[in-house]
A = this chain, B = another copy of it.
């Protein structure tokens, strides 16, 4: 049988009240007594029954999710996943608030972060924009004892509790290798389309992509990255312009959003032999993969990211270690055949 607080009390030769004081870090216990109790805990291998504790504490986990608004399909998917988690909040004792902020506007994010009340919120998950103001707001929350998980886009080197997203350098490298291998026998140019190089994830993808192409696939030369601010119309325009003007383009890597524009442009060049890699599985990109317009999609599972963020924030609030293997977000590679 699993040992209980009663068992440690008698094992340590102290009362239940003292065990409780030690377990919950309440004052009024001598060092030696604390040591006695801790030793008994270790000896019996006691593990606090979190479920029972939560019951007794009437604990709920108030969480805040901050996501960019706007039409970006990926972000809308992400929000849908958060809402799905919200629907389960009764079951897993969470209370989730979703805040939408203006996209590409760090000050709006800062503003929203500063309204988070550390007294009533135990954890925050946000799609981070890496600016000094945002970093400062995050550090403030951490200092106030709030857990902070960065979603999709990280704040490297900050004190955030956890990053729930992918290594974007590795993602860019993966795209580079796919395109390199798909064009292994014929040289040419590769058009790279990005949202904004001020977004760290886009920058990292471009960097990883370039690394691999330069070091291993010298027969391919990069054109771009063309910045489009993730606007589908601008993506279409850039791609259209490049394809029309440069017959040497043999591949396209869209490392940002706006796949819809890319698909539009590709539709007009169906005869042309192109290797195309994009990011994030959405209704559109999935369709394009099925139609053969895209050759591969690099994806991060935003459902996994949301669930993982919640688990990590709850674990932190309980003072428990999360299960690292479970919380690692994969860099998914999807071809036409292994779509989920």
Contacts and interface: CB of A to CB of B under 8 A. Distances in A.
Interface of A: 2, 45, 47, 49-52, 54-55, 84, 88, 90-91, 170-171, 173-174, 176-178, 181-182, 184-186, 208, 212, 295, 301, 303-304, 307, 323, 325-326, 328, 330-338, 340
A337 B174 contact: yes
Oligomer: number of copies: 2
A179 B25 CA distance: 59
A205 to B, nearest CB: 12
A336 B295 contact: no
B335 A340 contact: no
Contact of A47 (B2, B91, B173, B212): B91
A90 B2 contact: yes
A90 B177 CA distance: 44
A227 to B, nearest CB: 24
A340 B186 CA distance: 31
Nearest to A48: B91
Contact of A178 (B176, B328, B335): B335
A287 B96 CA distance: 43
A57 to B, nearest CB: 12
Contacts of A326: 303-304, 307
Contacts of A182: 181-182, 184
Contacts of A336: 177
24 contacts: A50-B91, A51-B51, A51-B52, A51-B54, A170-B337, A174-B335, A174-B338, A176-B337, A177-B336, A178-B335, A181-B295, A182-B182, A182-B184, A184-B184, A185-B185, A301-B330, A304-B326, A307-B326, A330-B338, A330-B340, A331-B338, A332-B333, A333-B335, A333-B338
A303 B174 CA distance: 23
B51 A55 contact: yes
Contact of A338 (B170, B186, B323): B170
A333 B299 CA distance: 11
A264 to B, nearest CB: 24
A289 to B, nearest CB: 11
A163 to B, nearest CB: 15
| Candidate in A84, A91, A173 with the most chain B CB atoms within 10 angstroms | A91
A338 B171 CA distance: 7
Nearest to A303: B325
Contacts of A2: 90
Nearest to A173: B337
A88 B320 CA distance: 12
Contact of A330 (B55, B171, B181, B330): B330
A216 to B, nearest CB: 9
A317 to B, nearest CB: 16
A336 B55 CA distance: 47
A340 B333 CA distance: 13
Nearest to A304: B326
Contact of A177 (B50, B54, B186, B337): B337
| Candidate in A45, A304, A307, A335 with the most chain B CB atoms within 10 angstroms | A335
Nearest to A51: B51
A93 B56 CA distance: 18
